[in-house]
Amino acid sequence: MLDLIMQGITEIMHINTLLFILFGVAWGTIGGMIPGINATIAMALLLPFTWGMGPTNAIVMLCGVYAGGEYGGSIPAILIGTPGTNAAACTVIDGHELHKQGKTGLALYTSLNSSVFGGFFGAIALLFFAMPLAEVALAFGPAEYFALATLGLTMICSLGEKYVFKGILAGFIGIFLSTVGFDPIKGVPRFTFGVMSLNSGFDMVALMMGFYAISEMFKQAQELLGGEVFELKGDPDTHFPKWKEIKGLFKWNVFGSIFGTIIGVMPGAGATTAAFISYSEAKRISKDSSSFGQGNIIGVAVPESANNAATGGAMVPLLALGIPGSNSTAIMLGALMIHNVSPGPMLFINTPEIPYGIFVSLFFANVFLFFVGYMFIKFAIKITSISKPVLIATVIALVYTGAFAYSGELFSIGVTLAFGVVGVLLRKMEIPHTAVVLGFVLGFLMEANLRRGLIISEGSFWGVATASPISAVLLAFAVFSVGFAFVRGLRMSKAELS
């Protein structure tokens, strides 16, 4: 093992290679910061330039973009309530609240620290456990994916706080939205009403930007005119967190990173799923769960460590099995294939310097990420001095441009606008829109795998639930979580009445 790691280090320790990683991280962070441009698009834009590079340089640069992209999305998420990437949508919930409370530095630097921590954790897992983790990925069939998604979805019950039914309703709406478009098994178009642009369903980017960015800007515009404009309480605190604060979040970073690495390993799950599931589980086990959504720093640390740990996890099926588990790793697969490198178990035997070089490059990418992120935060924090009307108009224009850039269709701007309006209405009715987003993120994973599972078990739901010990345990946890959320909601309601 040690000699393989040394081979990897030797492969990376060239000034050109390190500069490529640094450039990748910076490019990815910029891409992540721009709504509508995620890590995948940032990578796709660089792909043509990898043609003239060696396979290691090409892939390590893309690794840098991947790490930077997953982190960069958190900066606008915290500062303007607009997630730069889908995975950062979860960071908006508490990160933007912290910014409103003037704890801007704490939120931004915690997001950076946790992202770097998650990235390191994922890289270590990749370095030492790539092959065993690949076996975990293979142990997850449709029944296990369905159980995992269901467990994540039980979070909708607690997102409504004392309005348990509203949380569930919001989750159902989110799952319903995920069913729009081609059905995952038969390919039948559902709820599309003949609109071609809806055949592949709603763009997650448009939906997230609508629910988070546009509805937040609408809300701020309403507040501005109603004289209730949110202003920072004093000057925002832009200091780096104290050691005590960093240390206090250590266990949550480990928590998020474990979720991120494991979920990242599973093909089709990805960083967004990792962020939302880890957030929901952190809220579930936290002693201070009621402060989640109101500016709890754990709500920033956990999803950020999870989504960056997922980058390491996502490399496992790509390199060990040759299966790209996400759009970003599919682009990496493309880059490897351009250079006649075929990922899979033989890659570790024939050219071990490439996979181990990639593993080692993730460490360097995260070191660079810390410094690049620190620099970007210093620059981005100036956003807080922009006047509120200018910020509202600019963010709306930026989001519309980002929505168009992602799909190349005007329809996406319309979808973003529509979800922005829906977001305002849901807020008015005190229906938690985060539960809608959670339902949307996990809905497809849940439905597609439930139906695959039902085909395997010849229509028996019990057969799906008990297909393996993993699915049975996960579903048992889900049932327990629903019961717990109901009891908690009833208690909160009773306490309010008395």
405: left (phi over 0), alpha (psi -120 to 50) or beta: alpha
d(CA 158, CA 428): 19
Q: What residues are paired with 190 via a beta bridge? A: 181
Taking CB under 8 A as the rule, does residue 231 contact other proteins? no
Taking CB under 8 A as the rule, does residue 194 contact other proteins? no
- Which of 341/413 has CB closer to other proteins? 413
d(CA 459, CA 468): 16
Q: Which of 67, 417, 438, 474 binds other proteins (CB under 8 A)?
A: 417
Q: How far is the CB of 458 from other proteins (least distance, A)?
A: 7
Q: What residues are paired with 181 via a beta bridge? A: 190
Taking CB under 8 A as the rule, does residue 101 contact other proteins? no
Taking CB under 8 A as the rule, does residue 173 contact other proteins? yes
CB 335 within 8 A of CB 59: yes
* Structural tokens at position 126: 């990749």
d(CA 162, CA 422): 22
Taking CB under 8 A as the rule, does residue 252 contact other proteins? no
Residue whose C-alpha is closest to residue 159's, from 280, 41, 25 = 280
d(CA 280, CA 269): 16
d(CA 409, CA 198): 11
- Which of 22/214 has CB closer to other proteins? 214
Q: Which of 123, 450, 465, 475 binds other proteins (CB under 8 A)?
A: 450
Taking CB under 8 A as the rule, does residue 489 contact other proteins? yes
Task: Give how far Cα 487 sits from Cα of 172, 283, 480, 490, 492, Å.
Answer: 20, 16, 11, 5, 9
In the range 134-163, which residues lie near other proteins by CB under 8 A? Answer: 162-163
Taking CB under 8 A as the rule, does residue 186 contact other proteins? yes
CB 272 within 8 A of CB 437: no
Q: For other proteins, which stretch binds (CB under 8 A), given 127-135, 232-240, 361-369, 485-493?
A: 485-493
Taking CB under 8 A as the rule, does residue 185 contact other proteins? yes
Write each residue from 359 to 398 as x if it is in contact with other proteins (CB under 8 A), else as -, in one continuous string: ------------------------------xx-xxx-xxx
Taking CB under 8 A as the rule, does residue 404 contact other proteins? yes
Q: Which of 20, 117, 140, 400 binds other proteins (CB under 8 A)?
A: 400
Taking CB under 8 A as the rule, does residue 168 contact other proteins? yes
How far, in whole angstroms, is CA 95 from its chain's centroid? 14
Determine the size of the site formed for other proteins (CB under 8 A): 62
Task: Give how far Cα 389 sits from Cα of 2, 54, 279, 436, Å.
Answer: 57, 48, 32, 28
Taking CB under 8 A as the rule, does residue 438 contact other proteins? no
CB 92 within 8 A of CB 390: no
- Which of 265/396 has CB closer to other proteins? 396
Three-state DSSP at 40 gives: helix
Q: What residues are paired with 431 via a beta bridge? A: none
Taking CB under 8 A as the rule, does residue 37 contact other proteins? yes
Q: Which residues bind other proteins (CB under 8 A)?
A: 34, 37, 41, 45, 162-166, 168-169, 172-173, 175-176, 179, 183, 185-186, 188, 190-191, 218, 221-222, 224-226, 389-390, 392-394, 396-398, 400-401, 404-405, 408, 410, 413-414, 417, 421, 424, 428-431, 446-447, 450-451, 454-455, 458-459, 489-490, 493
